[in-house]
Amino acid sequence: MSEHVSTGTDTMIRLDQVTKQYHGQDRPAVSPLTLEIKNGEFVVFVGPSGCGKTTTLRMINRLVEPTSGEIWINGQNVTHADVNELRRGIGYVIQQIGLLPHLTIADNIGLVPKLLGTPKGERHSRAADLLELVGLDPKVYAGRYPRQLSGGQQQRVGVARALAADPPIMLMDEPFGAVDPIAREKLQVEFLKLQEKIRKTIVFVTHDIDEALRLGDRIAIFDVGSRLAQFDTPLNVLTNPADDFVRDFVGAGASVRRLSLLTIGDVLAGPVGDDDHSIPLHDAVQVTLTSTVHQALELVLAARADGVCVVPDLAAEGSPTELAGSTKFIALQDLLMTASNTPGGRQ
């Protein structure tokens, strides 16, 4: 929980005692809210309807002007800065996607660059690159109109359009809200891969706790009136909910959800009782330190194996070197026991 604002140099967005009181409303939509988002961090705002997520998000690019408090972007107080200048550095994806029906996909993506005076040829080649980046073949899609795309494809175009001016910050308000659950999960996975490449500072709104847990480096759980109930890593939210509201919001199944967030590396670094896990098993399936416990269990069940064999994973950065270099065996029972005893705390 980070109620207090530090002045770290890697801070990208800082809301300092920000409030919003809409005209004619008895209660503020956002009551004093302070939070800090790091450069390159993926933060998800989650909470019940009407708790102030959209209002808070829109105060970051001042589509909603705060009633009081300060907004800082990249070390600058932008509370009263020029909004056009501010918004140039902030891509915005809205729930309704908002593609213009009479413009082609390429022209929709090139909308902001056009306003910024980018020449046509450059706009179109940039649009093609961005379509490629979000997994749509520009040869097929650049010349189409929005109605000729599926909902999921339109969502990707919405993301491409927000990236067009290459802003360091992306604000996304329920961007996958209009897509069916299967397409949605696919978009989430693709979007995480995209973020690996582009490393933007992202603030993403959802009311779906599973989406929040899957995507966020940290998630901000809002209660009614924008009370920030907890701002923490998904694993910590599941392991140490700050209060009953968070516990209820996360709901049943927290321990099962943790299995998707804990990696084998976390489990091996956790309180493993004795050294039994280094004894070879008969039917172990291979996993690496970066596999999640959930993935490991799926493999074990599919193969009817009796445990996992943790093989070195050269791609696993920051994992304990003595583990990365050798092979370990964990019996199914030990894996489950250790996973349920491993504390959260991964950043």
Give the binding site for ligand ATP (CB under 6 A). Answer: 22, 25, 29, 49-55, 207
In the complex with ligand ATP, which residue's Cβ is closer, 113 or 158? 158
Tell me how far CA of residue 268 lies from CA of 262, 275, 315, 318, 328, in angstroms.
10, 11, 17, 14, 9
Query: What minimum distance in Å lies between the beta carbon of 243 and ligand ATP?
Result: 19
The entry of Mg ion, ligand ATP, none that residue 207 binds, CB within 5 to 8 Å by partner kind? ligand ATP
Helical residues (DSSP H) of the chain, grouped into ranges: 53-60, 83-88, 105-109, 111-115, 120-133, 138-141, 151-163, 181-198, 209-215, 234-239, 244-250, 254-261, 264-269, 293-303, 321-324, 332-341
The entry of Mg ion, ligand ATP, none that residue 38 binds, CB within 5 to 8 Å by partner kind? none
Number of residues that bind Mg ion (CB under 5 A): 1
* Distance between CA atoms of residues 117 and 115, nearest Å: 5
* Distance between CA atoms of residues 105 and 150, nearest Å: 13
Query: What minimum distance in Å lies between the beta carbon of 79 and ligand ATP?
Result: 19
Stretch touching Mg ion by CB under 5 A, among 50-58, 131-139, 234-242, 320-328: 50-58
State the DSSP code for 73: E
In the complex with Mg ion, which residue's Cβ is closer, 54 or 292? 54
In the complex with Mg ion, which residue's Cβ is closer, 45 or 141? 45
Q: How many residues does the chain have?
A: 347
* Distance between CA atoms of residues 3 and 15, nearest Å: 11
* Distance between CA atoms of residues 294 and 267, nearest Å: 12
In the complex with ligand ATP, which residue's Cβ is closer, 64 or 309? 64
What are the two backbone dihedrals, phi and then psi, of residue 163, each rounded to the nearest 5 degrees?
A: -85, -5
Query: What minimum distance in Å lies between the beta carbon of 60 and Mg ion?
Result: 14
The entry of ligand ATP, Mg ion, none that residue 51 binds, CB within 5 to 8 Å by partner kind? ligand ATP
The entry of Mg ion, ligand ATP, none that residue 61 binds, CB within 5 to 8 Å by partner kind? none
Closest CA relative to residue 208, chosen from 239, 236, 170, 250: 250
Query: What minimum distance in Å lies between the beta carbon of 53 and Mg ion?
Result: 5
Query: What minimum distance in Å lies between the beta carbon of 97 and Mg ion?
Result: 15
According to CB under 5 A, which one of 11, 19, 54, 338 is a site residue for Mg ion?
54
Query: By the criterion CB under 5 A, which residues form the site for Mg ion?
Result: 54
